[in-house]
Amino acid sequence: MYLCGMDHHHGHTQGRISGNIDLAFFLNLGFAVIELTGGLLTNSVAILSDAFHDAGDCVSLGVSWYLQKVSGRGRDKRYSYGYRRFSLLGALFLSVVLLIGSAFIIKESIARIIAPEPAHAQGMLLLAVLGIAINGLAALRMRKGASFNERAIFVHIMEDVLGWIAVLAASVVMLLVDFPVIDPILSLAICVWVLYNVYKNLKGTLKVLLQEIPGNVDTEKLETALCALEHVLQVHDLHVWTLDGEQHIMTLHAVISGNLPASDRQALKASIKAVCDGFDIHHVTVEFETETEKCECECTIP
């Protein structure tokens, strides 16, 4: 017996998400070019590191933009659940790009700490102001996003905003005192932010790919709520996973009394769906069994 509560506004949501991502893409692309030029002119490894960071963002946002459109496709002969998991590939791609870039920047920063080179503080100051303005605009656009992708991009852009605030502070310090080593130190700090973000993205993505139970779903409370329904005697072989961190899926076996009429079974399915909706699970497959019926499924997986 199949219960399916798919989002009928999925197409509209996909368009809104894609619109937010493409704005973030073009803002990052334009500013990455400005940063690369400014970093070379000011001899600032911190700005160059963030330019590489933003370039990685542009590539990942471009890939995510494409994969977001692909993930909007429905099920077909190849993918019975549709293409929603394609959006996870963007996170994996981004992680690889940023890991490689961070390793390069860490190497360069350590070399600059050992042998400091002067940086153009005035140029850093101007780029910092520009960086705060452009990334701040992108953050304002993304801050109201409700999807997993939008929230992740918002957090990442906010890290850029905070990074540029740090560059602004460093440039002010360098205008007042001769302390060029603060630039590579700042670059290392930016890399720490990037690597921490990579860790969080990889951790979340791998949890989805390994079909971990979504963190916002308490299966014990869910089973208790389902067993509290009239006519439900027991629930077993319950499995919950998520396609992309947003759309959760569940399958279960519900033991009911054998004399329950077919018409009441339909109403019971609706009640089960209502309970699952309360746990943010909108795609549910239910199999009914009677008290005397032996479960044909191997419910215990070694």
CATH code at 143? 1.20.1510.10
Tell me if 301 is assigned to some domain: no
Q: How many CB atoms lie within 10 A of CB 297?
A: 11
**In terms of domains, do 274 and 160 share one?**
no
Residue 221's alpha-carbon distances to 211, 246, 279, in angstroms, are: 20, 20, 9
At position 171, the amino acid (one-letter code) is S
Tell me if 299 is assigned to some domain: no
**In terms of domains, do 229 and 83 share one?**
no
**In terms of domains, do 277 and 142 share one?**
no
**In terms of domains, do 19 and 120 share one?**
yes
At position 40, the amino acid (one-letter code) is L
Average pLDDT for 228-250: 89
Residue 56: exposed, middle, or buried by beta-carbon count in 10 A (0-12, 13-18, 19+)?
buried
**In terms of domains, do 254 and 128 share one?**
no
Tell me if 2 is assigned to some domain: no
Average pLDDT for 16-33: 70
At position 130, the amino acid (one-letter code) is L
Tell me if 214 is assigned to some domain: no
pLDDT digits (tens, 9 = 90+) for 124-160: 788 888 888 888 887 787 776 555 566 666 766 777 7
Return the structure tokens found at 292. 């005397």
**In terms of domains, do 160 and 231 share one?**
no
Report the SS3 class of residue 158. Answer: helix
Residue 11's alpha-carbon distances to 8, 71, 117, 281, in angstroms, are: 8, 11, 52, 19
Domain membership of residue 269 as a residue range: 219-290
Return the structure tokens found at 158. 């906010």
Tell me if 249 is assigned to some domain: yes
pLDDT at 86 over 70: yes
The half-sphere exposure of 81 on its side-chain side, counting CA atoms within 13 A, is 14
- 302 confidence band (pLDDT: 50, 70, 90): very low
Residue 103's alpha-carbon distances to 61, 64, 115, 194, in angstroms, are: 21, 23, 19, 11
Tell me if 302 is assigned to some domain: no
**In terms of domains, do 128 and 227 share one?**
no
**In terms of domains, do 120 and 236 share one?**
no
Return the structure tokens found at 22. 């493409």
**45-71 and 148-176 helices, crossing angle to 10°:** 170
**In terms of domains, do 14 and 118 share one?**
yes
- Please give the helix or strand (H or E) that residue 239 lies within, else none: strand 232-242
pLDDT at 299 over 80: no
Dist CA 51 CA 205 (whole Å): 25
Dist CA 99 CA 111 (whole Å): 19
Q: How many CB atoms lie within 10 A of CB 244?
A: 20
**In terms of domains, do 170 and 114 share one?**
yes
The total number of structural domains in the chain stands at: 2
Residue 250: exposed, middle, or buried by beta-carbon count in 10 A (0-12, 13-18, 19+)?
buried
**In terms of domains, do 97 and 232 share one?**
no
pLDDT at 100 over 70: yes
- Of 190, 209, 228, the position where a domain reaches its end is 209
Please give the pLDDT value at position 145. 58
Dist CA 7 CA 280 (whole Å): 12
**pTM for the structure as a whole:** 0.69
- Of 164, 179, 209, the position where a domain reaches its end is 209
Return the structure tokens found at 238. 């319950």
**In terms of domains, do 180 and 78 share one?**
yes
Average pLDDT for 252-279: 88
Q: C-alpha 40: how far from its chain's center?
A: 32
